[in-house]
Structures are given as structure tokens and as C-alpha cells.
């Protein structure tokens, strides 16, 4: 029976048309072997010609001038501002201290710091916990897989250095981890409890809200409290976390009196804030943007130091708009405001503030800035509904001296009011384009 191309499956026909021979079946009926052999023989010139053409094209590419690869992170049907959504360049951003001089110039650092070391975020957290364990025998570290270093390697080598009695694994029970930590804190220890992902902290919500936060209110008259408790957890989207590995639950904890809620943006900040949290006499929920664990790298002082809790940081002075954020979105905010300043012209100047501590909120710094600029935009990755942005807006508008100076409504750029979908995760978090559009809209109001 003569061989026909229609006998070849569609996928193999596509390969054949591209110059590749179709895969031969494992066994061929005797009546068809001659036809297949003939077809294979007759296709040799065609394949040779195709291979020759492919080689010529490859040679042409090698001899032509090399051009930068095309990088497009937006749809051709998207608005023009979507072209701003390029990857964050952490190697050059001024939000990270790329030199020892820049790191040591931090005003909040204690005088005398003179040596720095290049660290990423998880290394800075590891360094902070090692410092705390070395300084105080009351410090403990425990959680799921903590003994071998943890999922993100934040506790790497700490058990080897400080022993299994102080750095150890726990069962897979978030409620048990936090409950045990509260008991340790109540007895004078300073436990660091790790929740492997913030998405799984909810079984421990009862322990944090009804026990840790209320301990001092209930037994403070007898000198009992759960101060010294630090609960660490990685949070935020990474691009493929979807429903159960991308959540940012900081606003839930910020609703609870008696807890402090902290979220750093950089390695230098993470070390200083974590040491401050461990030494603090209030229970602290310490959230770590996991997308920055390896991406954010900077010079970090080797000596022990703390950064003040509940004190915002003005990263860039400005006159016309105040942009407030925390954690990873700060990098997108900086890119957006730089582009807005360049495009609008007329001396547009945008101020950028890092909250650092979500609760208690540094209202004084926010109000002072907005009284100057008259406009405010709040950016955060967590859902927009009932979020940190709403609380910041209320804090600004409830103060009469700040309210009368507003030139535009307080705007919010945040995660949409939906659970994070896997296929559309990158569209759910604030990006440069959305922040840029918010700045222009606020300025033109």
C-alpha cells in the first residue's frame, strides 16, 4: 500500500513540515514496510534541503549584529502605561544599600557600627536570630523543619551552633506552635515561633488573638504577660503561589490590640526590626516578603543593632504627592513615581514613605507629610477591602489639621478583592502601571 502523509498523525506532520522525520512506529505490518521504506528514502532530499536551509539561517544569525532580546511584560492590547511593568532591578535600586557607606549612613543605626557584609533577606534574618540566640539564653527558635534550616533556609546551621534544646522542630500544628510559644513567653523565655507560610497561620489565630494579645489585659495586674513572643511568617505573592501560598494577612493582625505587626522591605531593615521585635515586651507578628528572600541583596552591618518599631521612614522627600507603602510594593512605587515625575514635568515631586510597622501605625509621620503635599496614595499587596490603605486614609482624614489641606481624595492601589488566582497572580498585585496611573489621577484631580 503506498504511503500517504495523511496517514501520519497531525503532530508528526507538523514536525515533518519543519524538516524533521516522523517518529517510526514500534512495529509496522509487513505489507506496509516497503511503502514506509520507499517514503523514507524519497524524503531524504527534502530533509536534506530543509536542514541546509536551517543551517544557512543559523549562520546568518551568527554573522548578523547581535541585538538585545526582546522583553515584553505586557499585552499589545494593554494601555500605554502597562509598558512600565518591567521586572524590578534590585541590583541598582536606591532602596537597597549597595555600599558599606550607604548602609552605615542609616540614621537609626547605633554609632560605632563599622563593618558590613553582603546579605540577602533570608541571610539577614538568619543573622538576626543567631545574634539573639548568642546574646540571650532565654531565646528559643522552633517551627516546622526549622532544625535543618527551614523551607527558605532562614534557620540554616542555627541548631548546629546553639543545640537541639534551643533550635528544634515541631509537629505540623500551627495552633500548637503558637500555643507552646505563648507558654514559653509567659514563663520568661523569648521564643521565636516560625509559621512556614502565612497562609497557614489561621489555625493559630485563636492563640494569637485570644491568648497572646489578651494575656497582659487579663493577668497584667499580677505581672504576667506574653511579651517577648515573636511569630515569624513568610508572606506575599511570588508569581505562582495561588490560593495557598500568596496571602498577605497583615490587616487581620493589625485589627488586634496587644499585637505589633511588622513587615520589612530589605535585609538591613529585616535584621534591625527582627532584633527589635525579639527584644520587645509585646507579642510581635513579623511578616517577611518571601519574594525578597533572595532577590533583595545589600550591605548589612555585622554588629547587632535595632531599628525603632512603630516609626515610619521617609525614603524620598516630595512636595506634591505622598505615596505610602511597605514591603515589596515599595520598589514598584519608586519606579512609578520616578516615571511620573519625568512624564508630568513642571517640577512634580513625590514623597515616598515606608510604614515598616503596620500596627501601631505611625500616624504623626503620615499626617505631617500629607499636610505638606495635600495628596496621598496608599499601596499594599493585600486585598483592598478593609485593608491597611483604608486605615491610613481614615487616619489622615480624621485629623482636622490634615483634612483641610487635602487637595484630592486619598487613593488606594492594592490587591483586588478576590482570592489570588494561579494564572492571573501577577495581575492581582499592585504593579508600576497601576501606581503610575494613580499618581497622575491624583495630581490632576
At residue 384, the pLDDT reads: 95
pTM over 0.85: no
At residue 100, the pLDDT reads: 93
3-state DSSP of 274-326: HHHHHHCCCCEEEEEECCHHHHCEEEEECCCCCCCCCCCEEEECCCCEEEEEC
In contact, 376 and 393? CB cutoff 8 Å: yes
Q: Which has the minimum average pLDDT: 55-59, 120-124, 167-171, 267-271?
A: 55-59
Question: Which of 174, 298, 351, 381 does the annotation list as catalytic?
Answer: 174
Distance CA(22)–CA(294), nearest Å, equals 44
Question: Which of 194, 211, 245, 381 does the annotation list as catalytic?
Answer: 245
What's the rounded mean pLDDT across residues 173-202? 97
Residue pLDDT, tens place only, 300-338: 999 999 999 999 999 999 999 999 999 999 999 999 999
* 85-94, 211-220, 326-335: range with highest mean pLDDT: 326-335
In contact, 268 and 300? CB cutoff 8 Å: yes
CA 303, chain centre distance (Å) = 26
Residue 423 has pLDDT above 90, yes or no: no
pLDDT band at residue 345 using 50, 70 and 90 as cut-offs: confident
Q: Which has the minimum average pLDDT: 72-86, 176-190, 203-217, 271-285?
A: 72-86
Active-site residue 211, yes or no?
no
For 313-444, CATH number? 3.40.50.920
Q: Which is it for the CA torsion 36, 38, 41, 43, positive or negative?
A: negative
Domain boundaries, the chain: 100-301, 313-444
Mean of pLDDT over the chain = 86
**100-301: CATH superfamily:** Thiamin diphosphate (ThDP)-binding fold, Pyr/PP domains (3.40.50.970)
Active-site residue 174, yes or no?
yes
pLDDT band at residue 226 using 50, 70 and 90 as cut-offs: confident
* 5-14, 71-80, 113-122, 147-156: range with highest mean pLDDT: 147-156
Residue 38 has pLDDT above 50, yes or no: no
pLDDT band at residue 23 using 50, 70 and 90 as cut-offs: very low
Residue pLDDT, tens place only, 122-158: 999 999 999 999 999 999 999 999 999 999 999 999 9
In contact, 136 and 275? CB cutoff 8 Å: no
Amino acid at each position: 500500500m503506498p504511503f500517504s502523509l495523511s496517514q501520519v498523525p497531525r503532530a508528526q506532520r507538523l514536525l515533518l513540515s519543519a524538516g524533521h522525520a516522523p517518529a517510526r512506529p514500534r512495529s509496522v505490518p509487513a505489507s506496509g514496510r516497503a511503502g514506509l521504506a520507499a517514503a523514507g528514502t524519497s524524503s531524504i532530499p527534502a530533509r536534506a534541503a530543509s536542514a541546509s536551509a536551517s543551517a544557512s539561517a543559523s549562520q546568518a544569525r551568527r554573522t548578523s549584529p547581535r541585538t538585545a532580546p526582546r522583553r515584553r511584560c505586557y499585552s499589545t492590547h494593554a494601555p500605554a502605561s502597562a509598558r512600565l511593568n518591567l521586572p524590578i532591578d534590585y541590583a541598582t535600586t536606591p532602596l537597597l544599600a549597595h555600599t558599606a557607606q550607604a548602609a552605615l549612613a542609616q540614621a537609626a543605626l547605633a554609632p560605632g557600627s563599622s563593618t558590613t557584609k553582603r546579605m540577602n533577606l533570608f541571610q539577614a534574618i538568619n543573622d538576626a536570630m543567631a545574634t539573639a540566640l548568642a546574646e540571650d539564653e532565654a531565646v528559643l527558635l522552633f517551627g516546622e523543619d526549622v532544625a535543618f534550616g527551614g523551607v527558605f533556609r532562614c534557620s540554616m546551621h542555627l541548631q548546629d551552633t546553639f543545640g537541639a534544646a534551643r533550635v528544634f522542630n515541631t509537629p505540623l500544628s500551627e495552633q500548637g506552635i503558637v500555643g507552646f510559644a505563648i507558654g514559653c513567653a509567659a514563663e520568661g523565655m523569648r521564643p521565636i515561633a516560625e509559621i512556614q507560610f502565612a497562609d497557614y497561620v489561621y489555625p493559630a489565630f485563636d492563640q494569637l488573638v485570644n491568648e497572646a494579645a489578651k494575656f497582659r489585659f487579663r493577668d497584667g495586674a499580677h505581672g504576667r504577660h506574653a511579651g517577648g513572643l515573636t511569630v515569624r511568617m513568610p508572606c506575599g505573592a511570588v508569581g505562582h503561589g495561588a490560593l495557598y501560598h500568596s496571602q498577605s494577612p497583615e490587616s487581620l493582625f493589625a485589627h488586634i490590640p496587644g499585637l505589633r505587626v511588622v513587615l520589612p522591605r530589605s535585609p538591613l531593615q529585616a535584621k534591625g526590626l527582627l532584633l527589635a521585635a525579639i527584644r520587645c515586651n509585646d507579642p510581635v507578628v513579623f511578616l517577611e516578603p518571601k519574594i525578597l528572600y533572595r532577590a533583595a541583596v545589600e550591605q548589612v552591618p555585622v554588629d547587632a543593632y535595632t531599628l525603632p518599631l512603630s516609626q515610619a521612614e521617609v525614603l524620598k522627600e516630595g512636595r506634591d504627592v505622598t505615596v505610602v507603602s511597605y514591603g515589596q510594593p515599595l520598589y514598584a512605587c519608586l519606579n512609578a513615581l520616578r516615571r511620573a515625575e519625568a512624564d508630568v514635568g513642571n517640577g512634580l515631586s513625590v514623597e515616598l514613605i515606608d510604614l515598616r510597622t503596620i500596627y501601631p501605625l505611625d500616624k504623626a509621620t503620615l499626617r505631617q507629610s500629607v499636610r505638606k503635599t495635600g495628596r496621598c496614595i496608599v499601596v499594599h499587596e493585600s486585598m483592598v477591602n478593609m485593608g491597611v490603605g483604608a486605615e491610613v486614609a481614615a487616619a489622615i482624614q480624621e485629623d482636622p489639621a490634615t483634612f483641610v489641606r487635602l487637595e484630592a481624595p486619598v487613593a488606594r492601589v492594592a490587591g483586588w478583592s478576590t482570592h489570588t488566582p494561579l494564572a492571573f497572580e501577577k495581575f492581582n498585585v499592585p504593579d508600576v502601571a497601576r501606581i503610575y496611573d494613580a499618581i497622575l489621577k491624583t495630581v490632576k484631580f
